[in-house]
Chains A and B, each alone.
Chain A
Amino acid sequence: MQHRISIDHLLCRGCNLCLEVCPKEIFQDSAVIGSGGFRLKQVVSPEKCTGCGLCELCCPGAISLDCLPDEVFATILAGRESRRTQSQSRGGWKEVKSLLQPGRYFMTGNDAIVEAALAVGCRFFSGYPITPANEILEGMARRLKEVGGKFIQAEDEIASIFMVLGASWAGLKALTATAGPGFALMQEGLSLADMAEVPCVVINVQRAGPSTGQATRPAAMDMREARYGSHGGVERIVLYPESVQEVLDLTIEAFNMAERFRTPVILLSDGYLSHLSEKVELSEHIRVYDRIYVPGKPAFGPTPDFSAPSMPRFGDGENVGVTGSTHDRFGKRATADPSVQESLVFHLDRKILEHREELTDCEELFLEDAETAVVAFGTVGRSAKWAVKEARRLGKPVGLLRPRIVYPFPSLRVRELAGAVRKFVVPEMNQGQMFHVVSEKVSREVVSLPQPNGQIIDPRRILRYLIEGVW
């Protein structure tokens, strides 16, 4: 098998990196001196090339290693299969015992995240302290030591997220937690997590912004950033619980989704929910999903059925490149091939969108005969629920839709509702971010009830709107 290495002599800068990095010493100086005044490089023994791609990776632009056609893949696959007969497939659903005694607990939203993460098998945390997410970092620092995990306080949020990605490739379930300003820094790493299909969970405890804003006050000002903040803008799974019990349940869900779809999952919380203490029930057994690994299978998409590809970890013996650049199914860079780029991006979107039905999880209240539907997320859902129940008591035909999974947005359910209700109302602890998302899905009247004042919304204010139409 031969790989086609081509060197564009016009682009060669004579840096000799190819000579340095090639493990098979394929490159050599030729006798010809080019226009730059240095010896041009040549390939002396192309038959030794294994296709590792290091030359292309290190070269500032002159070397290109041709992307392999499918029949060559088959040959590679065959070779790898035989090499990995000793490794075993792993992953899938399993049931584990809870670390804590099952029963009733009284804990804060932040503590619930820690306990849920440990229960589901998270053994790596890297983060940088930020109000109001501090207790997650503190809890992880204390508890990971007890269960044999690894905790690192990084120098900043950028380092935190990249350590999380590294830990994930090392085979661990990894978590980081931050608030708005830190979440903005993490966007770069999240984009890499999208591209390299790295399962991880990021907690964003939202506080009133922009920037440092009101650090101790709750808000829901990152509702759009969580989905659209990263470059590339592929589909993201974003969850937003309303109570401490749900924080616990959805954190477990978040890890399972991250592992199943091999994607970063964002769990939103806020400055109120993080410090709210409530009663939670912990069950004895927890359903946990571990990422699938099948020896020799390609580690990246596209997959024919839009499932998550097999994910090896360091040490499994796979020859896999992990890169943020466009890559083929073995992780080899293909930064100029339009078809590889397109199929990869569609794969990243569709591996989530194809499971859209399963990824719709809404709490619904009185929607059967409602004329007005209140759409609320997370903590605001509690205010809305109170207001909707009171309004019903007063005879108003209102209902509540509260998506626990914010993205992928439950468009189908909302469109279905639009056929039955006259009006949608979206109360929010921001300037009306989800209002836009709801409006673009339906052709009904959608009303925004914004409250960006760093306070949770007083349910009586929503009630007043539902009764008198005044905000």
Chain B
Amino acid sequence: MQKEIIFSGKGGQGLGVMGRILAMAAVLDGKEVASSVSYGGEVTGGLSQSEVIISDEKIDFPAVLNPDILILLSQESYDKFAPGTDRKALLFCDPSFVNPGQTSEGLRILWVPAAEKAVGSFGRNQFANIVMLGAVVAITQIVRPESVIQVIIEEFERKNPELNEQAFGIGLQIERQPCDYHLCDSANCLKARLRSGEAPLS
């Protein structure tokens, strides 16, 4: 199994960190991993992205060709990636950054109010990326949540591991919470269908 993941948004939202944590957690899980971050002076504040490929076998080509999972944290990144995306892919969008009114039909979008939850719990949206990561890990089960927590504690020990761990926990719970978010069509809830196995993960 090979999963290709793209994190995209504005430079400064912590996309690189999300990618790095996910990739390192996958290494702990014993998977093959390749990851790269957009590089260059022009990315600060502009469109930035981070790619991760997680595979059971050796990875031939290390860059993402057909993303299976996209985490889109700005309108610009949504506009860039959503049109060309495979219909089977899962899109994670934060309604604080991507306008739900402008999304195209037929895409499998999961709305995760990460920034809202982060502001609610910590008073600032600094941990929104880790909340989002929690939701992604819970829903896709691409890595073990314990591995992510281990990475947060060991590799990011000087960067507020307690709060990050807490933020990750909040993200994990989004999967289990009843989907009462106003964007979700409750009769046809994607999260519920993914959870029950009615809808395939990819």
* Chain A interfacial positions (CB closer than 8 Å to B): 104-106, 132, 216-217, 243, 271-272, 275-279, 382-383, 385-386, 389, 456, 458-460
Contact = CB atoms under 8 A, between A and B. Distances in A.
7 contacts: A104-B30, A106-B33, A271-B39, A276-B62, A278-B33, A383-B61, A459-B65
Contacts of B76: none
Given A278-B35, A389-B60, A459-B65, 20 more contacts: A106-B23, A106-B27, A106-B35, A216-B40, A243-B62, A272-B36, A272-B63, A275-B37, A276-B34, A276-B62, A277-B20, A277-B23, A277-B33, A278-B33, A279-B27, A279-B32, A382-B61, A382-B62, A383-B61, A385-B61
A276 B52 CA distance: 10
Contact of A460 (B31, B33, B59, B65): B65
B147 to A, nearest CB: 12
Interface in B16-66: 20, 23-24, 27, 30-37, 39-41, 59-63, 65
Contact of A275 (B20, B24, B39): B39
Contact of A276 (B30, B31, B36, B40): B36
Nearest to B40: A216
B24 A456 contact: no
Contacts of A278: 32-35, 59, 62
Contacts of A272: 36, 63
Instruction: Give the interface centre of B20, B35, B40, B61 by most chain A CB atoms within 10 Å.
Output: B61
Contacts of B30: 104
A382 B60 contact: yes
Contacts of B36: 272, 275-277
A389 to B, nearest CB: 6
A43 B54 CA distance: 77
B40 to A, nearest CB: 4
B41 A277 contact: no
A272 B62 CA distance: 10
A16 B110 CA distance: 87
Contacts of B27: 104-106, 279
Contacts of A458: 65
Given A106-B23, A106-B24, A459 B32 contact: no
B3 to A, nearest CB: 15
The 10 closest A-B pairs by CB, nearest first: A216-B40, A386-B61, A386-B60, A277-B35, A106-B27, A385-B60, A279-B33, A279-B27, A278-B34, A276-B36
Contacts of B40: 216-217
B62 A132 contact: no
A104 B31 CA distance: 10
Nearest to B19: A277
Interface in B130-173: none
Contacts of A275: 36-37, 39
Interface in B58-81: 59-63, 65
Contacts of A386: 60-61
Given A279-B32, A279-B33, A456 B63 contact: yes
Contacts of A383: 61
A439 B59 CA distance: 30
A132 B61 contact: no
B85 to A, nearest CB: 16
Residue with the highest number of chain B CB atoms closer than 10 Å, among A104, A106, A385, A456: A106
